[in-house]
């Protein structure tokens, strides 16, 4: 195994600055509620990082089984913060398998991060304005009733958003596929079929990426993701459970609202739909003043309501996460710029979205400027998503599937669906 002497410094620069304090006492592996008995972590990962075993760590699925609950950091006698070290390793994994790879390398450089994440979204927003309404550059704002579609036609905004979103999803899938090939040595999965009672042999086999065993693992892992089972067994960092739950389901709500926009947009561009809808979606309370309920208004108002609730959940979850990092002394997990930047962007997307809605209710022309700011942060999130902590939902899911197929799922997390009911 080749040793990279620079790798330890990379991990320390990404947030694992206390790596070299570790004296290999193994307290972290003992107290970790998620560490498999036959393949404990994070002690061995701390050793590998100190030794510079880059290749071994980048292909180690165990770094993704860690949920950064901070139990290990809370009980570390040397304050080496193993949770922070694993978090830094995960950031390095994302940059290593990112596609295109040169972008991952750029984001690892102090000069590259602000250029790519801050300037690129500004260029995209500027291109959208030049395409849809160049008058904005001279400060010309629409007159009359305040509506954001007067500033930028909704068709243009939706096209830009869905092109960026589609690219983010594509890049994320290609990147995680590269990671899957690395940890499975070409896409197959070794697995163990446990013998029947009194059997004397252990049967081993190979299952491809699209094999039945993969899908079995996929559905059990999906259950744990939806229930957030792993978060529930953390001790030192309990506030992470509600924070992560709110952010996760908040984005689910925003995604459903975006799908409602796609459906409603069909009316704008002339696509025949089974139900006649209205666009843009009305405010949910508007249906209370209707003499007769109109199916189109009700459907689109529900989409709007789901989006509003999703936005509130994202704001609340981000605020709890930030508060927890600042004031939860037991966890000792302040995080690095990698964590903080993502959290702040998510929070700003939610806050600016609500600022636009409130300003629009009061018919304020500030709505237009707030809308441009909101779009900037949305584009920033979409551009950064495949290379940020947002990508962990793909990498962690793949690592959990791999662990399930190798019978290395945490013993205190129900493996089968009926055990969790």
pTM of the model: 0.85
Which top CATH class is 7-101?
mainly alpha
DSSP H stretches of helix in 276-294 = none
- Assess contact for 42 and 29: CB atoms under 8 A: yes
What distance in Å separates the CA atoms of residue 179 and residue 185, rounded to the nearest whole number? 10
User: Can you give the residue ranges of every domain in the chain?
Assistant: 7-101, 110-420
At 253, list the tokens.
Answer: 């709500």
* Secondary structure of residue 207 in the 3-state scheme: strand
- Asked whether the beta carbons of 306 and 313 are under 8 A apart, the reply is no
CA gap 147, 393 in Å, rounded: 35
Position 302 scores a pLDDT of 81
What SS3 state is found at 203? strand
243 in Cβ contact with 321 (< 8 Å): yes
Identify the pLDDT of residue 37: 76
Distance CA 273, CA 262 (A): 12
Cα–Cα distance measured from residue 109 to residue 309, given in angstroms and rounded to the nearest whole number: 37
Distances (CA, A) of 194 to 123, 201, 221, 406: 56, 9, 20, 11
Angle at 81 between CA 93 and CA 395, to 5 degrees: 25
Is 65 within 8 Å of 41 (Cβ atoms)? yes
| Residues paired with 206 in a beta bridge | 190
Beta strands in 96-175 (DSSP E): none
**Other CB atoms closer than 10 Å to residue 135's CB: what's the count?**
12
- Tokens 């990498």 locate to 395
Percentages (nearest 5) of helix, strand, coil residues in the chain = 65, 0, 30
Mean pLDDT in order along the chain per 10 residues (421 residues): 87 90 92 82 93 93 87 89 92 92 80 83 95 90 87 87 92 94 72 48 46 74 84 75 92 86 59 55 62 65 86 95 81 69 92 93 92 96 91 92 79 51 42
> What 8-state DSSP symbol labels residue 196?
P
Looking at residue 380, its pLDDT comes to 94
Q: Of the candidates 119, 125, 31, 128, which has an alpha carbon nearest to the alpha carbon of residue 70? A: 31
The three-state (H, E, C) secondary structure of 25-47, written as one string: CCHHHHHCCCCCCCCCCCHHHHH
Q: Which two tokens stand for residue 312?
A: 């509130």
């Amino acid at each position: 195994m080749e040793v990279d002497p620079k790798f330890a410094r990379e991990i320390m620069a990404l947030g694992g600055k206390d790596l070299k304090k570790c004296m290999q006492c193994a307290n972290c592996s003992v107290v970790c509620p998620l560490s498999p008995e036959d393949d404990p972590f994070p002690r061995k990962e701390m050793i590998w990082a100190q030794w510079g075993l880059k290749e071994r760590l980048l292909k180690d699925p165990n770094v993704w089984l860690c949920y950064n609950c901070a139990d290990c950091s809370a009980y570390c006698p040397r304050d080496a913060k193993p949770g922070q070290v694993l978090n830094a390793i995960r950031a390095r994994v994302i940059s290593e398998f990112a596609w295109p790879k040169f972008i991952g390398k750029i984001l690892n450089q102090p000069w590259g991060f602000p250029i790519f994440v801050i300037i690129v979204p500004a260029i995209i927003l500027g291109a959208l304005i030049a395409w849809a309404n160049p008058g904005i550059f001279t400060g010309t704002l629409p007159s009359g009733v305040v509506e954001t579609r007067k500033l930028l036609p909704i068709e243009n905004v939706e096209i830009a958003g869905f092109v960026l979103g589609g690219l983010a999803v594509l890049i994320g899938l290609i990147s995680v596929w590269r990671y899957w090939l690395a940890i499975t040595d070409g896409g197959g999965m070794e697995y163990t079929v446990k013998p029947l009672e009194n059997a004397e042999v252990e049967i081993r086999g190979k299952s491809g990426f699209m094999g039945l065993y993969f899908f079995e693992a996929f559905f059990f892992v999906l259950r744990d993701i939806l229930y957030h089972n792993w978060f529930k067994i953390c001790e030192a960092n309990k506030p992470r459970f509600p924070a992560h739950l709110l952010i996760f389901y908040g984005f689910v709500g925003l995604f459903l609202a975006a799908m409602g926009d796609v459906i409603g947009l069909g009316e704008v561009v002339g696509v025949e739909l089974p139900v006649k809808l209205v666009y843009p979606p009305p405010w949910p309370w508007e249906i209370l003043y209707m003499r007769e309920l109109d199916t189109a208004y009700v459907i689109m108002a529900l989409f709007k309501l789901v989006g509003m609730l999703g936005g509130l959940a994202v704001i609340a979850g981000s605020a709890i996460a930030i508060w927890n990092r600042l004031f939860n002394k037991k966890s000792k997990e302040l995080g690095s710029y990698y964590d903080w930047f993502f959290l702040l962007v998510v929070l700003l997307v939610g806050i600016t979205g609500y600022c636009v809605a409130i300003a629009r209710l009061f018919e304020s022309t500030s709505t237009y400027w707030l809308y441009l700011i909101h779009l900037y942060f949305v584009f920033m999130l979409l551009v950064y998503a495949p290379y940020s902590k947002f990508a962990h939902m793909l990498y962690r899911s793949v690592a959990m599937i791999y662990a399930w197929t190798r019978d290395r799922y945490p013993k205190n997390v129900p493996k089968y669906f009926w055990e969790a009911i």
